[in-house]
Each structure stands twice: as structure tokens, then as C-alpha cells.
Amino acid sequence: MSFPWAKEYTPTNPVMRFFDEKLPLPRLVYNAVGAGYPVPRNLSYFWNFGVLAGFFLVLQIVTGVVLAMHYAANAQVAFATTEHIMRDVNWGWMMRYAHANGASFFFIVVYLHIFRGFFYSSYKAPREMIWLLGVVIFLLMMATAFMGYVLPWGQMSFWGAKVITGLFGAIPLVGEPIQVWLLGGFAPDNAALNRFFSLHFLLPFVIAGVVILHIWALHIPGSSNPTGVEVKQESDTLPFHPYYTAKDGFGLGVALILYFALVFFLPNTLGHPDNYIEANPLSTPAHIVPEWYFWPFYAILRAFTVDFLFIPAKLMGVIAMFGSILIWFFLPWLDKSPVRSGHYRPMFRKFFWFGLIPAMAVLFYCGGAPAEEPFVMLSQIATAYYFLHFLVIIPIVSQIEKPEPLPYSITEAVLGSDDKAVLGKNAKTAA
Amino acid sequence: MTKLLSIRLVAILVGLGFAVVALYSFVVGAYAAITEEAPAHLPYEEPRDIAYSFDGPFGKWDVQQLQRGFKVYNEVCSACHSLKFVAFRDLEQIGYDEGQVKAFAASKQVPGIDPNTGEATTRPGLPTDYFPSPYPNNVAAAAANNNAIPPDLSLMTKARHDGTNYVASLLMGYQEPSAELLAEHPEAAPAPGLHHNPYFPNLNLAMAPPLTTAGQVTFDDGTEATIEQMATDVAAFLTWTAEPTLVKRKQTGWPVLIFLLFATVLAYFSKKQIWAATKRKAA
């Protein structure tokens, strides 16, 4: 579905006409990311990150497939084949650094995409399904990234795998059998490495499938926008191509400059030195830390240090860590404010900038720091705020807040008044 | 409506539940932090900042330095430490010619198989062979070194924080523990067979000082072999063994970034031009 004024695909040459009759793939692309998709005209650069996330997914799949041609998922040789890629495979070092830092950039753009969604309440009706699918993509990304980090079979690979699979051991009664079943043994070894490799290869294609559903669901109501006012008329929109292809093209250029600066000049900055030591089950690293993109959730896991009544601290940490993401699924039904954009929501905006963002920053920092004071105490306060923010503050604020006045339309927000719209043939004036 | 209200009511209760449990942990932790003394960390030093030719985005190898460092590895470190990811053929990258590499490889004995009996034996190395380990296995390595296995050095400078500086600082850092340190941390006194070094995270390591006297190695290029010179050169060599493609990586980065900068400027102006019409008011 689309707006009635969406341009229709008209093939101009016989080859495309042939295709359009037999398999309307060009039409699909035209309507998805071409001139056939009308998009609100006021999108800011915060709306670039969806396209960028798609780009980094493709980049990860391409570099990953090449790396898989040279890597061997066997605990005896995995570390050595990684070094073989770095030393002897032509441009292997570039492929591996591009893949490792590509994962980091994938998470950077996805985090910005998610926080754009938080601030502009992109999860609200009629876009709940887009949001739900997005949370699924994020969970799949986390699983994929975790298993990918295990593959080089360095010290952090091994001990990270041991800690994370150990979380399943916290489940009462059946925890340990489940952990042994997941690992294929009592500790991470060849069986675990092999299945992690298999799943690490599979899951990106599952992500790609869910991404298609995510975009499909997006095209039902169309994109949200910074005012949160729905599209009313043709002058509120611009065709995706050429306007947003051009804008995304510039955004992609900026992202690639930052990305390649990291790949070529600081490729190990975001990694941990211990992962250049081969996995050794007999030697525990001083501080086991996951990759930076897991730090906030790792801090939540470690915030629960004391048994509470009959709940063991470890189980509570595991529930909180998984729960901290699963609660995102309920956001569309927790936030009942009729206004979407944080720009017009004074209380919501304050809690976002002075509550959620600092809490996430504290969790991020403490997740990467050793499990000592004051980091543990800081992460306990931030964890408490994190859950209060989504489960208590958002429902209550959305009930009691008095939103600021909204513009009548997107056109009015951009051009000052509805009559000034240039591109609208059917533009109505504000009544 | 009542159903939605109940969803939010449940959410508020769950949210309060998580917050209460987290804050309970906080209160218990805060009480412990006030009443109990935190375990003291041994104060180890950050590595010294040493300037190298391969530092920075335009860095290049100093081939003379790599050759000097290689000599230090070969004559000192290789007695205990392996270099298993480096092949003799790789030495051509640091300025040795084919003949020199062949001769050096042949001077080393590598594990082999007797062609007549099939029994394990040793044979002179070929350029395609990797640097042989000084010990047949980890048990032998541990037995010969007071139970501490000397780690492989191929990746050492990448496997430590600020690795190149760390290796150089550690090699120059052996000293007697200061009286103030021992007064404050009596546990920092080296146990028998251990050696004090302020750059090592727990201040005492099993490796005896490997570079003890100036002139321990005679450099072919006439550079004076002070301990500092040997330590910085071998750290440079180990930076090369950890990432032989380091300089190529930086040199590849520049054309990529210059191209992207150019493309992004073009993308910016085309975006501006395409959008220009939409910002104009109707006449």
C-alpha cells in the first residue's frame, strides 16, 4: 500500500516491460526504495540509520562469506587459521578487520536507529509491527555477534562463551542440563565452536529475512517523521528517489569515512588484547569483558549481586539482562501519549535526555569496567533507573503530560504554512 | 481499555520490582563498601611512551631496526620463546635476500621424519618452515622454567595493552622493589625464583632479566647495543611479527579515505542541488 499520489512504475523499454509482466521485480524495487515510495519531506539525518544498518548487514555477509572460505572451525586450528587469514591470505587482514569493525559499526548505526525510535516514539500505532520486528532483528544481531566473537578462539572468545552459556545454568532445576546440551559438553570446546560457526553463518540470512519483513511492514503506514504528525497530503511527502537516495548517499559517505578510518588506522581499538592469546581453559583472564556493544547489558547482568528472598542473584541478573531488551516489545502499549515526537513532549523529553541517556552511558561504562566499586554501585542505580524509565515513568508520563501544540501538517512544519508548498498538486490549505 | 490499563499496571509493578531488587543489591553493596576494606591493587606502571618509526597514520618500518630486533630475538629470546606464526620466508619482508633466508633457515633444526626409517628426527630448515619451538612441548617448557611456560611471542605486542611500549618497558624495567612499595605492600616482595618488574601487572614474573649487559648482542649495522637499544629494537621486531601487514594497512588506508572524502563531498553537493527546489517558496 502507499499513498494515492505515489508514482506508478512505467517501464520505458521493451526489456523492462518484459520483466514487469513476467516478474515485477523492478516494480517492487521502484515502490520500495525508488520514486514510487513517498516519504515525509522533513526527515532529519537521524532517519539515515536504517539504510546504513542495511548496508552494514550486507557488508558483514560479504566479508563473512569470504572469511569462511579460509577459516576452519576446529578448536585445534581455529586460532591458527585466523592468523593464516591475517598473514597469508591475500587482503585477508583487510577482510578480517573490515568484518570485526563492521560488527561494531553495525551496532553503532543500529543503536542510533533504536534511540531515534525511542525519542520520536516510532513504535506507536500504526507502526507497532515495524518496532516488534526491529527488536527481533536486534536480538538476532546480538546472538550472531556473540557467536562470531567466539570463532577466533582467543582467550576472550573462550571465556566469553563460558560466561554467556553459563547464564543458562542459572535456570532453576534444568539449568545445567540445558547448558551442557547447548555447548555439547561441559565447557566450550570443539562441539560448541562448530555449532557456533554453523549458526553464525546461518543467522545473518535469518536477519536479512526479518529485515525484509521490517521494510515490508514499514511500507504499510509509511515512514514516521520528526514532527510525529502523520502525512496528510501530497505536499507532505517527497519521492524516496532522488531525494532520500541522495540524502542517504551523503550519510553513507560520512559513515564509510569513519568506518574505514577505524579499519585502516585503529583496527584493534575496539577489540580486547586478550583475544590475541590462544584460548586456554586452564588460565582465566583477569577481567572477562564482552565486546563493547554488550557492555550496557553486561552491567545489568552484574548489577544483581545479592540473593533477594528466594531468588538467587545470578538468576535475577540473567532475568534482568534478557528482560532489559524484552520489555522493548511492550513499549507500543506502555506509551499511551497521542503525541509521537519528543519535540512536543516536555516531560518525556526531559526523562529521555536527563534520565535514559545518562543511565545508558553509566551502564555502558560500568559494563566495560572491572566488577569493583564504585562501578557496581553505579550500575545498580542505573539499572534501577533503566527499568523504572520504561516500565514506570513512560506509562505515567504518557498519562499526565500536557503536550505542546503540534503543527497542522508536515508541510506547515517545513515551510511555515501550507500554501507555500511547491510540489503538491493536490495540496489543500489548512482549514 | 481496561485491558490496556492492566498491561500498564503490570508493567509498573514489574518495573518497581526490578528497581527494588537492584537497589537492594545497591544498599547491601554500599554497606559493605563502607564497613569493609576493598582489596588493594598492586600499583603497576603504565608502559613508557617510546617513539617508533611505524607510529601514526604515515608510519613506516625502519628495516635496520627490525633486523637489529630480529638479531636480539634470535640470540636472546629464542632460547625460551617460540615464534610459531612466523615462517623463515617472512624474513624477506624485513630486507633479507633469498640466499640469506635460505642460509638462516638451514642453520635451524626443525622437526622432520627420517626418509629411510620413518622415525621422528630433525632436519635443517627450509624457507617455508616456521620458526621452531625451543621446547618439544609445554611440559618440557614448564619443567625448564620454574613451572612458567614462556609464551609464544608472535602476537605478543597485540596481546597486551599498548603492546610495543609494554614489551620494551618490561625488558628495561627490571629493578629491586622500592622500600616504600614494600612498606605499603609487603606481598609485593618477589617470591623465590620471581623477579620484580613494575610494568608487570602483579609486579613479579618468572622470567629472569633477559637483557643484562650492554653489548650482549653485536649489531651488524654498528649501532651501539645498549639495553635500551636492544629492548626497543626487539619490541619493534615483535610489532612486525604480530602484524606484518601493519604498514601496508596504513598505506592502503590513505587512498581509500581520499577517495571517500571526494565521493562524500560530491554526494553532499548533489544532495544540496536535488533538495534545493523543495526549500523554495512558491512564487
Q: ipTM, 2 decimals? A: 0.93
C-alpha cell at A281: 581453559
What is residue B36's predicted lDDT score, i.e. its pLDDT? 84
A334 touches chain B (CB under 8 A): yes
- Which among B18, B25, B242 has the least Cβ separation from residue A387? B18
Q: Is residue A425 predicted with pLDDT exceeding 60?
A: no
Strand blocks (E) in A207-337: 237-239
Mean pLDDT of chain B: 92
Instruction: Please state the rounded mean pLDDT for residues A403-411.
Output: 92
Amino acid at residue number A336: K
Instruction: Please state the rounded mean pLDDT for residues A346-373.
Output: 94
Taken in order of first residue, the domains within chain A and their CATH numbers are 25-420 (1.20.810.10)
A247 touches chain B (CB under 8 A): yes
What is residue B186's predicted lDDT score, i.e. its pLDDT? 84
Instruction: Please state the rounded mean pLDDT for residues B20-30.
Output: 92
pLDDT grade for A412, boundaries at 50, 70 and 90: confident
Share of chain B above pLDDT 90, in %: 79
What is residue B282's predicted lDDT score, i.e. its pLDDT? 47
Convert the pLDDT of each residue in A30-84 to its tens digit.
999 999 999 999 999 999 999 999 999 999 999 999 999 999 999 999 999 999 9
pLDDT grade for B281, boundaries at 50, 70 and 90: low
What is residue A422's predicted lDDT score, i.e. its pLDDT? 47
Gap between the Cα atoms of B81 and B138, Å rounded: 11
A15 touches chain B (CB under 8 A): no
pLDDT grade for A428, boundaries at 50, 70 and 90: very low
Convert the pLDDT of each residue in B124-167 to its tens digit.
999 999 999 999 999 999 999 888 899 999 999 999 999 999 99
- Which among A80, A247, A388 has the least Cβ separation from residue B271? A247
Q: Is residue A426 predicted with pLDDT exceeding 60?
A: no
Q: What angle is formed at CA B237 by the lines to CA B236 and CA B240, rounded to 5 degrees?
A: 90
Gap between the Cα atoms of A132 and A326, Å rounded: 10
Question: What is the torsional sign of CA A82, A85, A87, A91?
Answer: negative
pLDDT grade for B42, boundaries at 50, 70 and 90: confident
Convert the pLDDT of each residue in A186-236 to its tens digit.
999 999 999 999 999 999 999 999 999 999 999 999 999 999 999 999 999
More confident of the two residues A420 and A207: A207
Convert the pLDDT of each residue in A167-181 to its tens digit.
998 888 899 999 999
What is residue A423's predicted lDDT score, i.e. its pLDDT? 46
Is the whole model's pTM more than 0.90, yes or no? yes
Residues of A belonging to the active site? 219, 223, 247-248, 291
**Contact (CB, 8 A) for A200 and A206:** no
Convert the pLDDT of each residue in A241-266 to its tens digit.
999 999 999 999 999 999 999 999 99
pLDDT grade for A429, boundaries at 50, 70 and 90: very low
Mean pLDDT of chain A: 93
Interchain pair A93, B21: CB under 8 A: no
The answer to which of A339-348, A410-419, B58-67 has the lowest mean pLDDT is A410-419
A254 touches chain B (CB under 8 A): yes
**Contact (CB, 8 A) for A254 and A109:** no
What is residue A414's predicted lDDT score, i.e. its pLDDT? 85
Residues in chain A closer than 8 A to B26 (CB atoms): 377, 380-381, 384
CA distance to partner chain B, nearest, from residue A23 (Å): 31
Share of chain A above pLDDT 70, in %: 96
**Contact (CB, 8 A) for B260 and A238:** no
Residues in chain A closer than 8 A to B206 (CB atoms): none
Nearest to B15, CA basis, from A353, A327, A131: A327
Tell me the count of A-B CB pairs closer than 8 A.
Answer: 177
What is residue A1's predicted lDDT score, i.e. its pLDDT? 52
C-alpha cell at A266: 585503529
User: Distance between alpha carbon A20 and the CA centroid of its chain, in Å?
Assistant: 34
What is residue B41's predicted lDDT score, i.e. its pLDDT? 79
More confident of the two residues B249 and A429: B249
Q: What are phi and psi of A106, to 5 degrees?
A: -55, -45
Share of chain A above pLDDT 90, in %: 89
CA distance to partner chain B, nearest, from residue A202 (Å): 30
Q: Is residue B1 predicted with pLDDT exceeding 60?
A: no
Convert the pLDDT of each residue in A320-335 to its tens digit.
999 999 999 999 999 9
What is residue A387's predicted lDDT score, i.e. its pLDDT? 97
What is residue B34's predicted lDDT score, i.e. its pLDDT? 87
What is residue A146's predicted lDDT score, i.e. its pLDDT? 96
Gap between the Cα atoms of A170 and A176, Å rounded: 8
* Residue A107 vs residues A41, A103, A140, A293: alpha-carbon distances, Å: 27, 6, 12, 7
Convert the pLDDT of each residue in A121-135 to its tens digit.
999 999 999 999 999
Cis peptide before B43 (omega within 30 of 0): no
pLDDT grade for A431, boundaries at 50, 70 and 90: very low
CA distance to partner chain A, nearest, from residue B282 (Å): 5
pLDDT grade for B283, boundaries at 50, 70 and 90: very low
Instruction: Please state the rounded mean pLDDT for residues A378-405.
Output: 95
- Which among B16, B29, B85 has the least Cβ separation from residue A87? B85
